Chains A and B, each alone.
Chain A
Amino acid sequence: DGGITQSPKYLFRKEGQNVTLSCEQNLNHDAMYWYRQDPGQGLRLIYYSQIVNDFQKGDIAEGYSVSREKKESFPLTVTSAQKNPTAFYLCASRIPGQGIAGELFFGEGSRLTVL
């Protein structure tokens, strides 16, 4: 079945370490997104990519980096520069303008905890 796979589901990091969250989709979607979710807040956009080899900063890109070398993959690196990285991270994809509404399809999420 088609879908979006995120890994790892849970990750613990020591302060000062970089970590990379994986996101792979086999939906043949062009656009991919990374969101951060904190308790009591809406999803906040970190980075997005509309096409391979191109990506744009979202609202809270500081301390994060991404790459889009393949259509299927959009990994997110949380760097040591991110001041408060403990959060639930969601990867999503869509085909702009298609589907019922061009809605987002989400992965299962990765919960990062900084010790």
Chain B
Amino acid sequence: GQNIDQPTEMTATEGAIVQINCTYQTSGFNGLFWYQQHAGEAPTFLSYNVLDGLEEKGRFSSFLSRSKGYSYLLLKELQMKDSASYLCAARPAYGQNFVFGPGTRLSVLP
């Protein structure tokens, strides 16, 4: 079957660094996506990995290991506005639909 796992909740302190992990099992693989979703709002696209390694975009970075079926999202210099849910999603193969994880709710404390 197809499955994505990620922690349900995490808490971190303003100014700190936090890593949100995601493991996936899909039939084929054509990309790993991270979205940010504030409560009651639309998810917004953060990052995309299709090859192994780290992709950096400002305070956010995303890492992928295809052999391990593993990704993480790294958030640096945390701000209060980073309190949100972070959704991990995989695209099994070209033409197939996305598979979403349950989301990780991150709370940033002062």
Contact = CB atoms under 8 A, between A and B. Distances in A.
Nearest to B42: A106
Contact of B102 (A33, A42, A88, A101): A42
A103 B4 contact: no
Given A42-B101, A45-B97, A109 B33 contact: no
A108 B42 contact: yes
Nearest to A88: B40
B38 to A, nearest CB: 11
A103 B102 contact: no
B100 A43 contact: yes
In order of increasing CB-CB distance, the 7 nearest A-B pairs are A42-B100, A101-B48, A106-B42, A43-B100, A103-B45, A42-B102, A108-B42
Q: In the complex, which of the residues B40, B43, B50 has the most CB atoms of chain A within 10 Å of its own CB atom? A: B43
B98 interface: yes
Interface of A: 4, 33, 35, 40-45, 48, 58, 88, 90, 96-97, 100-109, 111
A106 B48 contact: no
A42 B4 CA distance: 9
A45 B98 CA distance: 9
A41 B87 CA distance: 10
B43 to A, nearest CB: 5
Contacts of B91: 102
Given A90-B43, A102-B91, 10 more contacts: A42-B4, A42-B89, A42-B103, A44-B100, A58-B97, A96-B95, A97-B94, A104-B43, A109-B42, A111-B40
A62 to B, nearest CB: 17
A91 to B, nearest CB: 9
A90 B42 contact: yes
B42 A43 contact: no
B42 A40 contact: no
Interface string B67-110: 00000000000000000000101010011011111110000000
A23 B103 CA distance: 24
